[in-house]
Amino acid sequence: MSADVRHVSVHADDDVGAVDLALPARLPLAALIPDIVRLTGADTGTPARWRLATVCGTVLDDSVPLREQNVRDGDVLLLSAALPRAPRFARTDVVTAVLAAAPPPADTPVLRMIVGLVVASAGVVAGAAGYGSASLITAGVLLCVVAGAAVTASRTGREALVCGPLGCLTVLMAALCGALMVPGPLDVPHALLGAAAAAAVSIALLRFRVGSPVLSTASACAGLLCTVAMSGAVLWPVPRHSVGVALALLALGSLSLAPRLSVMLSGLAPAPSLTEESVTDVDRRAAAGHRLLVGLVIGSTAAAGAGVTVVAIGCLHGSGHWLSGAAFCAVIGAALLLRSRCYAAGRCRWALTLSGLFSVTVAFAVVAVQYGHWAAVVAVCAGVVVIVRESPDEQSPVASRSVEVLEYFVLAAVTPVACTALDVFSLVRSSSLI
């Protein structure tokens, strides 16, 4: 064995056989590693830290020569790539602990979309306060700009995170233009024409496949319901809370028709006979049916929320009695909350739950104006019960049947409560029918 050279066999991690090398014994091992990797053919092009180890697993120090590490002629060395590892401290490191506990970064595109939509919606609200031809021309120009941006984004293949908000802004600008078309201060005719314009533009967006189909379906459904409910208020002088009652009732009716409409409009209806050819694009029609159902449910729940809001405002301003108005809002909210369990789609359940909670909150606000202390007691106790109660994983058949019967009672109570809110009983009592 020479004092200056060591004759060793080097094995790499791959299937290449051992390579016999004569390595200088006085140079540090770090100076020999690049040549050893090149001669053994173990380099794959991926940056890595290479190391040599003995057969028994002892890793050789890179800064020490071979002769000082008791490497002799004929020894077998193993060449392997070691990935860099993060240092581990024996004591608690504050900086590492803070970095590990940091929350994940937020979704920047979603935040940007929300900020842009809020700012643009604030502009729409500001435009609704204007009068005259200047405001109408400005709103018309903005409608053309937003609609052009929505069409361009849709045709260039932008993601739904961009096309959806632009479609919503297009519908809002159309509603603003429709409201500004009617001269005078804002009243029922302005709201009627705005809702009709929003429904028409939503249907056009659906037809040309611009924006989100779910949001367009929802805005079209809500716009049509508002248009039908406010048509009577334009023809006859009726109290404003009556418009809200009619709108909420129409929304409940559209919720019942939403599944059938989605099946019929998407072409999923069963064939009239077994001899007809089977449908080839079932998957596409099924996806379209789901989108239609979600859009119809969201639009109907939004219309129901708008209806109970109008009823509550009318009760607070003295247009209707507070007790009948609060009862109507509570019944509508309970019906929406109980209906949410019938849907499997998460967006439908969320829409019904949020609209139902909103309706119940509106009813609570109407009662709180009259009896604030009792309303506070009921609300706090109900909230504590909901928080503390543990719901079982599987609902018992008795509980399911009880909830179903409760829903029937709530739906049966809608008609008499609505008649009370509309003062139908007082009208019949005061009229001379006999």
Amino acid at 68: E
User: Average pLDDT of 396-421?
Assistant: 84
Cβ burial of 142 (10 Å; 0-12, 13-18, 19+) is buried
- The answer to whether residue 70 is domain-embedded is yes
Angle of helix 322-339 versus helix 282-316 axis, rounded to 10? 160
User: Which range, of 133-142, 374-383, 385-394, averages the lowest pLDDT?
Assistant: 385-394
User: Please, which pLDDT band fits residue 115 given cuts at 50, 70 and 90?
Assistant: confident
Predicted confidence at residue 200, as pLDDT, reads 93
Domain count, the chain: 1
Considering 155-169, 331-345, 397-411, the range whose residues carry the highest mean pLDDT is 331-345
- The answer to whether residue 28 is domain-embedded is yes
Predicted confidence at residue 25, as pLDDT, reads 84
- The answer to whether residue 154 is domain-embedded is no
Count of residues in the chain: 434
Task: Name residues whose C-beta falls within 8 Å of residue 426's C-beta, 6 or more positions apart in sequence.
Answer: none
Q: Specify the higher pLDDT residue, 135 or 82.
A: 135
Task: Name residues whose C-beta falls within 8 Å of residue 49's C-beta, 6 or more positions apart in sequence.
Answer: 81, 82, 83, 84
82 pLDDT exceeds 70?
Answer: no
195 pLDDT exceeds 80?
Answer: yes
Considering the entire predicted model, what is its pTM? 0.71
140 pLDDT exceeds 70?
Answer: yes
324-354 tens-digit pLDDT = 888 899 999 999 998 988 888 888 999 999 9
User: Please, which pLDDT band fits residue 78 given cuts at 50, 70 and 90?
Assistant: confident
Predicted confidence at residue 386, as pLDDT, reads 73
- The answer to whether residue 34 is domain-embedded is yes
- The answer to whether residue 24 is domain-embedded is yes
215-271 tens-digit pLDDT = 999 999 999 999 999 988 888 888 888 888 999 999 999 999 998 998 888 877 765
Is 276 in a helix, a strand, or coil? coil
- The answer to whether residue 30 is domain-embedded is yes
CATH number of the domain encompassing residue 33: 3.10.20.90
DSSP 14: S
Q: Which domain holds residue 64?
A: 5-82
- The answer to whether residue 66 is domain-embedded is yes
User: Average pLDDT of 286-300?
Assistant: 91
The tokens of 300 are what? Answer: 């109907």
Torsion angle (degrees, nearest 10) of CA 247, 249, 250, 256: 150
User: Average pLDDT of 283-304?
Assistant: 90
- The answer to whether residue 14 is domain-embedded is yes
Cβ proximity of 362 and 382 under 8 Å: no
In sequence order, the β-bridge partners of residue 23 are 6
DSSP state letters, 362-403: HHHHHHHHH-HHHHHHHHHHHHHHHHHPPPPSS--HHHHHHH
- The sheet that has 76-82: what strands, in order across it? 19-24, 5-11, 76-82, 49-54
